């Protein structure tokens, strides 16, 4: 039976004699937590277009991504922690894709496979195609190519493993699902005559009113969704209020609360900045 190679877990800060390294590992909680997550990723089983054939090839015996811990693909989003977006994302399909993403438990990752998923590919600006799945979902790794080869997909998967290795339990920004609770679900786009992003509903309503009055409505000018400076100021006010209410509270608990508030404020500011682009 194959044995686990403990050398992958060694923390260089605490050297172990070489002859013992196969049997003893001195490591950190971060390292063992990340090692167990990255060594057992379960991709969601779905494909969108020609790239999916390459993804299937990567899973099959010749390339076999199980060797890297990606194991069998899961047929349910509730059992998956990796979404490989393999193919052209049409406006019709982005709706169920976002819904499936919301049904995946945290921590979860997204890999955009190929030119279509990364930026629209040969169909960019097509009337029915989304110019990159990252318009709606947070993508962790992009794999270029049309289609990418199985080797390229494997490289992207290994890159994702390296990203997971770099996450730290001590940094709440790195592990938001752990530090500040479950993330907000991504708004599911609405498919009408065209795709509608509910995050821009206010703007769309405003422009519709302007259009009804036959006034110029600047359809090509998308203002910042939320002003990041205002968000940061609000966050500071929250932290100050927290500090003022700390009298008589356990200092360790107060520090934990403050850290959580700060991380949430940074998260909100980042989201606001992203939404305003």
Applying CB under 6 A, which residues contact ligand SF4?
49-51, 87-88, 114-116, 121-122, 146-147
The answer to whether the CB of 142 falls within 8 A of the CB of 114 is no
Kindly state the smallest distance separating residue 52's Cβ from ligand SF4, in Å.
Answer: 8
Kindly state the smallest distance separating residue 260's Cβ from ligand SF4, in Å.
Answer: 41
Closer by beta carbon to ligand SF4, 16 or else 115: 115
Kindly state the smallest distance separating residue 125's Cβ from ligand SF4, in Å.
Answer: 14
Closer by beta carbon to ligand SF4, 89 or else 231: 89
In the 3-class helix/strand/coil scheme, how is the chain assigned residue by residue? CCCCCHHHHCCCCCCCCHHHCCCCCCCCHHHHHHHHHHCCCCEECCCCCHHHHHHHHHHCCCCCHHHHCCCCCECCHHHCCEEEEECCCEHHHHHHHHHHHHHCCCCCEEEEEHHHHHHCHHHCCCCCECCCHHHCCCCCEEECCCCCCHHHHHHHHHHHHHHHHCCCCCCCCCCHHHHCCCCCCCCCCEECCCEECHHHHHHHHHHHHHHHCCCCCCCCCCCCCCCHHHHHHHHHHHHHHHHHCCCCCCHHHHHHHHHHHHHHHHHHHHHHHHHCC
Closer by beta carbon to ligand SF4, 147 or else 156: 147
Kindly state the smallest distance separating residue 95's Cβ from ligand SF4, in Å.
Answer: 19
Q: How far apart are CA 121 and CA 124, in angstroms?
A: 5
Closer by beta carbon to ligand SF4, 121 or else 150: 121
Closer by beta carbon to ligand SF4, 144 or else 166: 144
Kindly state the smallest distance separating residue 53's Cβ from ligand SF4, in Å.
Answer: 8
Closer by beta carbon to ligand SF4, 87 or else 132: 87
> Which structure tokens are listed for 92?
């019709």
Q: How far apart are CA 136 and CA 132, in angstroms?
A: 8
What's phi and psi for 110, nearest 5 deg? -125, 130
Kindly state the smallest distance separating residue 60's Cβ from ligand SF4, in Å.
Answer: 17
The answer to whether the CB of 250 falls within 8 A of the CB of 212 is no
Closer by beta carbon to ligand SF4, 124 or else 256: 124
Closer by beta carbon to ligand SF4, 88 or else 207: 88
Kindly state the smallest distance separating residue 88's Cβ from ligand SF4, in Å.
Answer: 5
Kindly state the smallest distance separating residue 48's Cβ from ligand SF4, in Å.
Answer: 7
């Amino acid at each position: 039976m194959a044995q686990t190679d403990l050398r992958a877990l060694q923390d260089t800060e605490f050297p172990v004699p070489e002859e013992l390294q196969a049997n003893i590992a001195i490591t950190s909680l971060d390292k063992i937590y990340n090692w167990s997550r990255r060594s057992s990723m379960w991709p969601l089983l779905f494909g969108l277009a020609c790239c999916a054939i390459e993804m299937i090839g990567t899973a099959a015996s010749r390339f076999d991504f199980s060797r890297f811990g990606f194991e069998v693909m899961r047929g349910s989003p509730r059992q998956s922690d990796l979404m490989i977006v393999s193919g052209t994302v049409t406006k019709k399909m982005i709706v169920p894709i976002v819904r499936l993403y919301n049904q995946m438990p945290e921590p979860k990752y997204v890999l955009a496979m190929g030119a279509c998923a990364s930026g629209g590919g040969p169909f960019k600006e097509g009337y029915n195609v989304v110019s990159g799945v990252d318009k709606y979902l947070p993508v962790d790794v992009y794999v270029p190519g049309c289609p990418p080869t199985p080797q390229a997909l494997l490289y992207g998967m290994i890159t994702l493993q390296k990203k997971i290795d770099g996450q730290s339990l001590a940094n709440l920004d790195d592990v938001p699902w752990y530090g500040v609770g479950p993330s907000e679900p991504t708004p599911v786009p609405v498919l009408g005559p065209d795709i509608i992003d509910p995050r821009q509903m206010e703007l769309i309503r405003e422009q519709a009113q302007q259009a009804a009055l036959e006034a110029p409505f600047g359809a090509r000018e998308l203002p910042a969704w939320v002003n990041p400076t205002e968000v940061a100021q609000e966050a500071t006010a929250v932290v100050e209020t927290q500090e003022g209410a700390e009298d008589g509270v356990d200092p360790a608990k107060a520090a934990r609360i403050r850290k959580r508030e700060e991380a949430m404020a940074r998260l909100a500011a980042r989201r606001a900045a992203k939404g305003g682009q």
